[in-house]
Amino acid sequence: MSIEWKAEEHTVNGVKTQVLSAGKGEPLMFWHGAGTGGGWDFLAPLTEKFKVYLPYHPGWGGSADETSMTTTQDFVMHYLELLDLMKLGKVDLVGFSMGGWFASTFATQHSERLKKLVLVAPAGLRVKEHPTLDLFKIKPEEIAPYLAENLAALGPPPDPTDIDFIVNAYREQTSLARIAWERIYDSKLPKYLHRITVPTLFVWGKQDRIIPEAQSATWTKLVKGSKLQTFSPAGHLVLNEKPEAVKAIGEFLAA
C-alpha cells in the first residue's frame, strides 16, 4: 500500500526543512534513520489512525544541508523549534535508528511535549559486549544484507551506476559523518535516560546486524517501565520486513 504524502516546507532557524504528512487523527511524528532511499510505505497502517508527520533531518531528503549541526543536541533543538512552528503541542514520537538516538535524547529533556515514545532499534548507547556496526566501513552498494534478513522487503536493488543514487548516498553519509564519525553513541546519555517519563516501547529485529538486539537489555533497564517487542526473522529494517511490528506500534500508541 502506497501513501500519498503532502509535502510542506518550514524554515527553522534559517534551515529549510521538508515535512511529509499523511493520514488523519492524533499527531504522530516519525524520525527516520541514516538512510532514506527505501521510502516510507511501511508507515501506511499508521496513517489510518494518526496524522503522521515525517520531517527530513537537515542534510537528508528534501531538507537543506546545515553543516553547523554536528551533535544530537542540535537536532533536539531543531525539532523543538519545528514543533513550535507547526503549533503541535503533545505528539506521539517514533524514532528509528539514528532518529531513535535523536528521539531518546529529546525525550530526556522534553517529555512534556510527548504522549508516548517508540524507539525502533535506536542508536545512541555504547554497549561494549554488543557494539554497533561502524557504517563507515560499509560501501553503500554492499549495505543491503546488513539491513534486512529478507532482502525482498527492501524492494528492487538500486542501480549502482545511477548517479542520483550515488550522489544521495554520499550526501547522507556526509550528513551522518558530521554527528557520528568519531562515535555513534553519547557516553552521557545513559545517566539521563531515567528522565524519560512517558510510556515507552522498544521495537527490534532479532537478527539486527547493525544495532544488535542484545542492546535492548541495556535500554530497557535505563528507561524505567519501558516495554520491548522483538520480531524474527528480521534485521535492522524491522518495520519494512515485519508489518506486525508496525501494527504493534499502532496498538501501543492507541491503547
What pLDDT is attached to residue 251?
Answer: 98
What pLDDT is attached to residue 2?
Answer: 82
200 found inside a domain? yes
The C-alpha cell 564519525 sits at 181
Residue 158 reports pLDDT greater than 80: no
205 found inside a domain? yes
81 found inside a domain? yes
Please state the domain count of the chain.
Answer: 1
CATH of the domain at 139: 3.40.50.1820
Q: Is the dihedral angle over the CA atoms 75, 119, 149, 247 positive or is it negative?
A: negative
145 found inside a domain? yes
1 found inside a domain? no
250 found inside a domain? yes
The helix (run of H) or strand (run of E) holding residue 17 is strand 15-23
Domain span at 77: 6-254
Task: Please indicate, yes or no, whether the overall pTM of this predicted structure exceeds 0.85.
Answer: yes
Per-residue pLDDT tens digits for 189-200: 999 999 999 999
Per-residue pLDDT tens digits for 50-80: 999 999 999 999 999 999 999 999 999 999 9
